[in-house]
Amino acid sequence: LLGPDDARLEWTVANITSPIGNLWLRLLLMVVLPLVFSALVVGVAGMGDVRQLGRVGLKTLGYTIGISAISVVIGLVLVNLVKPGQRIDPATAAALEAEYGRSAEEQVGATTAALEQRKNKPVAVITEVVDRIVPVNPVSAMVGTPNLLHIMFFALVLGIAATLVPPETVRPFLGFFEALYEITVRIINGIMWGAPYAVALLVFSSVASFGTGLLVALLWYIGVVLGGLLIHGIVVYGLSVRFLSGLRPLEFFSRVKTVAITAFSTSSSNATLPTALRESREKLGVPQEINSFVLTIGATANQNGTALYEGVTIIFLAQLAGVDLALATQLTVAYLAILGGIGTAGVPGGSIPYVIVVLASLGVDPALIAIILGVDRILDMCRTAVNVVGDITAATYVARTEGHQLLGAVGAPRA
């Protein structure tokens, strides 16, 4: 009603809504790196000794990576086809690019130029890939603008190596990271207590600065995320349980509806775990020893819906900032999103810190995350339901390949 150039509105944004909202956002940024790093170390180490995982562990790991990759591909295809971040008027797009996209353009441009120079030198390209993934100094990767590829690689190496050390020796090490994880989660829970108010202020500031056209792009973004989750949750999971688990898809979904509703209501994979363990055993006949391993690991490491959401969100926000991410950069985003399905905290809003870190690593101003925070809760509920149902599809796949007869299997009597 007042218009973006109204003096009173500008004063309100500059002196009230923006400073308070940015204070909350900076508090969140303060703890995201230790949260993401500790979650990935603990998540990987929690899988157990890589030499003794055996068939069940390897099947779980292979299924998790494969299904997560499919979910990310679905999300990236949809967000590139629909381009929700470009469904704004040119004036708003120019303002957003000026505010949030300059450093990202420089970083992406530099990366593209470097790759162009090396396109006829295969050895140099391989060296470039190694340099981008493997850190020389992990500490420097965490200082200033974080190098997420280096950080994630170092966390993976630490987690895997921890599984090879005798338990009594590695216990203090893992205890430190478990404590760091719990402490940062507690801090974030405290920060998120003020989320409704801070998000309202941040959304007010964004709309006041860039106009209501931003809301149109946001609606398209919501549609892309929900559409991707629907495709993955129904089509991919349906095909998986039919051809990999030997179950009737409609009957499978009917038997896990209580789990999906619980996950949707709580927005927490961890909080839904007891229900998932019970329903998977009683309704599908998955043996307890497989249940306890696959579902417990899955609550942290098999978050397909989260991986899809993170990939879509990162590309959407880059589009809003006016950044055209090259294919190589989007493949990096896909890789990070798959890792995000392993390293994201299984609590409400647990993927937001991870998205912030990835945005920073791409050179996109993390403050842009404020635009989607207002709608994250409903998306969190939906992706958590997809995550938990995905854990159960993994459990049924492992159980069937281990020779167990499942309830509701094709050719089996209905129970």
Assess contact for 269 and 35: CB atoms under 8 A: no
209 backbone dihedrals φ, ψ, rounded to 5°: -85, -35
pLDDT at 210: 65
Q: How far apart (Å, rounded) are the C-alpha atoms in residues 245 and 241?
A: 5
Q: How far apart (Å, rounded) are the C-alpha atoms in residues 253 and 238?
A: 8
pLDDT band, residue 253 (cuts 50/70/90)? very high
Selection from 352, 354, 350, 319 nearest residue 337 by Cα: 354
Tokens of 192: 């998120």
Assess contact for 367 and 356: CB atoms under 8 A: no
Tokens of 215: 């809301």
3-state secondary structure labels for all residues of 334-383: HHHHHHHHHHCCCCCCCCHHHHHHHHHHHCCCHHHHHHHHCCHHHHHHHH
Contacts 24+ apart (CB under 8 A), 402-406: 402/55, 402/56, 402/290, 404/285, 404/286, 404/287, 404/290, 405/285, 406/245, 406/246, 406/247, 406/284, 406/285, 406/286
Q: How far apart (Å, rounded) are the C-alpha atoms in residues 180 and 41?
A: 11
Per-residue pLDDT tens over the stretch 261-301: 988 987 878 778 888 988 999 999 998 888 877 887 787 77
Is a pLDDT exceeding 50 seen at residue 158?
yes
Per-residue pLDDT tens over the stretch 62-77: 998 899 999 999 999 9
Tokens of 99: 């505010």
Which range, of 50-54, 179-183, 332-336, 350-354, averages the lowest pLDDT? 50-54
Is a pLDDT exceeding 90 seen at residue 390?
yes
Q: How far apart (Å, rounded) are the C-alpha atoms in residues 368 and 298?
A: 30
Q: What is the DSSP letter of 247?
A: B
Quote the Cα angle for 369-232-357, to 5°. 25
Top-confidence residue, 128 or 365:
365
pLDDT at 378: 86
Q: What is the DSSP letter of 85?
A: G
| Average pLDDT over the chain, rounded to an integer | 80
Assess contact for 396 and 295: CB atoms under 8 A: no
What mean pLDDT is predicted for residues 401-407? 87
When mean pLDDT is compared over 21-25, 122-126, 161-165, the highest value belongs to 161-165
Is a pLDDT exceeding 50 seen at residue 125?
no
Assess contact for 68 and 302: CB atoms under 8 A: yes
Assess contact for 238 and 393: CB atoms under 8 A: no
Assess contact for 342 and 42: CB atoms under 8 A: no
Quote the Cα angle for 304-198-191, to 5°. 65
Assess contact for 380 and 344: CB atoms under 8 A: no
Q: How far apart (Å, rounded) are the C-alpha atoms in residues 81 and 316?
A: 11
pLDDT at 105: 47
pLDDT at 115: 42
What DSSP element (H or E) covers 162? helix 148-163
409 backbone dihedrals φ, ψ, rounded to 5°: -70, 150
Q: How far apart (Å, rounded) are the C-alpha atoms in residues 313 and 332?
A: 14
Which range, of 210-214, 223-227, 292-296, 389-393, averages the lowest pLDDT? 210-214
What mean pLDDT is predicted for residues 157-182? 90
Assess contact for 148 and 358: CB atoms under 8 A: yes
Is a pLDDT exceeding 50 seen at residue 104?
no
Q: How far apart (Å, rounded) are the C-alpha atoms in residues 184 and 32?
A: 8
Q: What is the DSSP letter of 302?
A: -
When mean pLDDT is compared over 301-310, 322-331, 396-405, the highest value belongs to 396-405
The domain 53-125+202-401 having CATH identifier 1.10.3860.10: the answer here is yes
Which range, of 4-8, 35-39, 259-263, 280-284, averages the lowest pLDDT? 4-8
Assess contact for 39 and 345: CB atoms under 8 A: yes
For residues 13, 17, 20 and 24, what is the CA-based torsion angle, rounded to 10 degrees? -110
Residue 343, CB-side half-sphere exposure with 13 Å CA sphere: 32
Tokens of 164: 């090879």
Going from N- to C-terminal start, the domains of the chain cover: 53-125+202-401
